[in-house]
Amino acid sequence: MKKIAVFTSGGDSPGMNACIRSVVRTGIYEGLEVYGINRGYEGMIEGDIKLMKSSSVSNIVQRGGTILKSARSMEFKTPEGRKKAYDNLVTLGIEGLVAIGGDGTFTGAKVFHEEFGIPTVGCPGTIDNDIYGTDYTIGFDTAVNTALDAIDKIRDTAAAHDRIFFVEVMGRDAGFIAIESGIGGGAEFVMVPETQTDLNAVVKSLREPKASSIIVVAEGDELGNAEVIMQLVKEKIKDDTKDFKVTTLGHIQRGGAPTARDRVLGARCGMGAVRGLLAGETGCMSGVINNELVYTPFSECIGQHKPLHPDHLSLLDILRI
């Protein structure tokens, strides 16, 4: 193997640039030519591919987002689109791919590998931490700390006005951000897609005299988003003296300078992806479990649900007392 390419796809996450940097410099260290594919699968189809040097990734480790950019590609979902992408890689002599992204990225990489056989190793780049095969995903730690900083600030104004705040964080299908930012931020309740929300328990707690309360809601909770849940609670409490507010953090969680943890994780997974390709690994993801670099098949990363840690769920019950 002499030439490989790296791309980012799906939602951006802090630490992707650290991963790109590691892929490029590990590849050069191992004697490879490394290409960067702009805008994910769409750029692969359009031939938006450039040779990268060590200097190409200078001064990016501290930046959020991704210098290779990301885009959705409906055309890549078609056999014709994937054939165009393959032909562009063959023209440049690219023999291996590093795909940085989440579930959708790995689904595309799995199909592409099965159809054309180009060795591919993924790196887990998503703030949601919902990918099986790694303890943490690149960007999760930064997203949690961003949410935590916001919760701390909201608590100040909640206490000043004796208000009840419902803070909505990202997590359409997974509650990892909500759980960790909720525990760290001292939330009275945390609502996540993985568990049934006991609305009566929430109402009972909020009826008790308290100066202020913070409830963290993952956007994918089964009862709805923070605005919907706030209205449900408000209707049940029926107390005009209580002041309810909703804050939706939104995409602020996806941006910003990555934490040291995300930079190191991105660098480690990037190095693991390149060395995995050279060692014959393919159709898999480079991740870290119990501080050990591991390779997990895409089929398992995509097909298995990553559960919340039981200790975290226990803490939510204990700490709300």
The annotated binding site for ADP is made up of 21-25, 155, 186-188, 210-212
Known binding positions: 11, 21-25, 72-73, 102-105, 126-128, 155, 163, 170-172, 186-188, 210-212, 219, 245, 251-254
Closest CA to 205 of 197, 196, 217, 213: 213
Q: Strand, coil or helix: what is 197?
A: coil
Q: Strand, coil or helix: what is 128?
A: coil
Within 8 A by CB and 6+ apart from 8, the residues are 16, 20, 40, 66, 68, 69, 70, 100, 101, 125
Query: Phi and psi of 68, rounded to 5°?
Result: -90, -5
Among 128, 130, 141, 262, the active-site one is 128
Q: Rounded to an integer, what is the distance from CA 133 to the centroid of its chain?
A: 14
Q: Rounded to an integer, what is the distance from CA 231 to the centroid of its chain?
A: 29
Strand ranges for the chain from DSSP E? 3-8, 33-37, 49-52, 96-101, 120-124, 163-169, 189-191, 213-218, 243-248, 284-289, 292-297
Q: What does the angle CA 76 – CA 79 – CA 85 come to, to the nearest 5 degrees?
A: 50
128 has catalytic annotation: yes
Task: Tell me the sheet residues that pair with 191.
Answer: 217
Task: Yes or no: say if 183 and 316 are a contact pair by the CB < 8 Å rule.
Answer: yes
* Amino acid code (one letter) for 117: G
Known binding positions for ATP: 11, 72-73, 102-105
219-231 exposure pattern, b = at least 16 Cβ within 10 A, e = fewer: bbbeebbbeebbe
What does the alpha-carbon distance between residue 39 and residue 23 come to, in Å, rounded to a whole number? 17
- DSSP label at residue 125: B
Within 8 A by CB and 6+ apart from 264, the residues are 18
Q: Kindly list the catalytic residues.
A: 128
